[in-house]
Homo-oligomer: A and B are copies of this chain.
């Protein structure tokens, strides 16, 4: 099994990945939000300033006695790689060579006994432990915060990544939690199976990290979010182990599995997980649909979700996101590897005729049209039936079916956004996302309120931007709203700018009865809202579990709003 190349320390993804920023996109951004006249690439790795490790040789020797000498890393490169996740503030600081903190060492246990010994040593010696899977958190979830402890290690789960059991009859795979999503999918593909979990972080994410953060993949409408896939897990905490075997369902008391899903490393280290798998799809069909309005699209998606026509992937862009997608899809700029936006634009022109012209310029407010992408996959017969039903429902809501191109273009670019974000940072442009979920009857109101809040906050920062959104992750009762905003960075005041927008959006989300996060987890960024969402008594209940499992509070300090640390928003 090939391991992925280590991720760029200063940003997202494979170091060998080509540029994804087209000339046309850059020009469009120059005309709208404005670019910095002063491009600012990341500094060189050697130039990153790290504090000296606070772990003396005696403690490092104790760690090495447990993990072996190659299981303890204190070199500059490894400390930098584990100094931050991939949130906006992480990137701003690490690209500048000034990470906000860094682990004093990186620990790599390769077994449960090593893991237990490590946690017990850390508890004894007051060393904070930050579990680190793929390092892909966008909410500060792997931020090295030592709290009251004199030192901190990043606990990299990468060596606990074996496939332990594949129970094909029951369709359950049991793996070490450090396994990366692509490695698991490759293994399953050899047995004609799939997990079907494709978050945007797919290329680097660890499955244990997905469980710890309640991840939902792009195909969650069909496959379910990770919480639905999880049948069993093993967690090691400083105070002991919790081993929950894979069982399809149980009424044996409070939902302990679900309590540990979303525990974000603050309750212990999830080191083994058992997940439901499915047959690899025989067939996969992408459908593009235009709706006359966002509301018509919402109604159609609701019908799909409620009337036995749920697609695996559903994604309805609001008018602004629709406009931007098409504007960027229009040929003119260079086409990056794997992208065929020019072809998409040509095909849409042919199909939509004059209607297309209204979409591609700045006339989006006038047309209000919305593009949806639906993807159906699975067993051919079953997909055919479900897709026919879906097409009927879509047409009944005035949807115009425009073929496979939009979906295929999306599929080709589905993991590209983080690469684009990095390139735009060089040009002084922030691209940030945030997401929520609510019931169907609250969707339109929430969409309007959050978009307006973000727009106002950007205006107040003096950096008016583009705010757009799509609906995805459908349920019978509601769905997720995923917002993206693009604006000029306030260089030198990046944190202030970002925090102002985050505060406005988070407040609007809570004021409108939605969740502060549907699939990005809490980490540091959402901690200020957690008590408003689950109440002080809810926080106290989780804090009590933490105090029991992690009595000296070494596990991922400052996350989940449990430690009472000042947070950064």
Contact = CB atoms under 8 A, between A and B. Distances in A.
Interface of A: 167, 169-172, 213-216, 225, 227, 231, 237, 239-264, 267, 276, 278, 302, 306-308, 378-379, 381-382, 385, 389, 437-442, 473, 475-480, 513-522, 526, 529-530, 533-538, 540-545, 547-549, 560-561
Tally of this chain's copies: 2
A242 B522 contact: no
A526 B253 CA distance: 10
A537 B515 contact: no
B541 A439 contact: no
Given A172-B439, A248-B479, A252-B534, 5 more contacts: A250-B515, A252-B262, A253-B522, A259-B541, A541-B545
Contacts of A302: 169
A541 B549 contact: yes
A258 B253 CA distance: 10
Nearest to A250: B515
B252 A261 contact: no
A250 B518 contact: yes
Contact of A254 (B251, B260, B308, B379): B260
8 contacts: A167-B441, A243-B535, A247-B437, A247-B478, A248-B475, A248-B478, A249-B480, A257-B258
Given A258-B259, A302-B169, A535-B241, A308 B251 contact: no
B251 A540 contact: no
A518 B473 CA distance: 29
B255 A537 contact: no
A542 B259 CA distance: 10
A534 to B, nearest CB: 6
A170 B537 contact: no
B242 A253 contact: no
A358 to B, nearest CB: 30
A553 to B, nearest CB: 14
Nearest to A213: B251
Given A519-B251, A545-B545, A540 B246 contact: no
Nearest to A480: B249
Q: Considering the complex of A and B, which 9 residue pairs feature the smallest CB-CB distances, nearest first?
A: A258-B258, A255-B258, A214-B251, A240-B537, A544-B548, A170-B439, A248-B478, A248-B475, A250-B515
Contacts of A538: 242, 244, 256
Contacts of A477: 170-172, 231, 246, 248, 276
Contacts of A249: 216, 225, 227, 437, 473, 475, 480, 515, 518-519
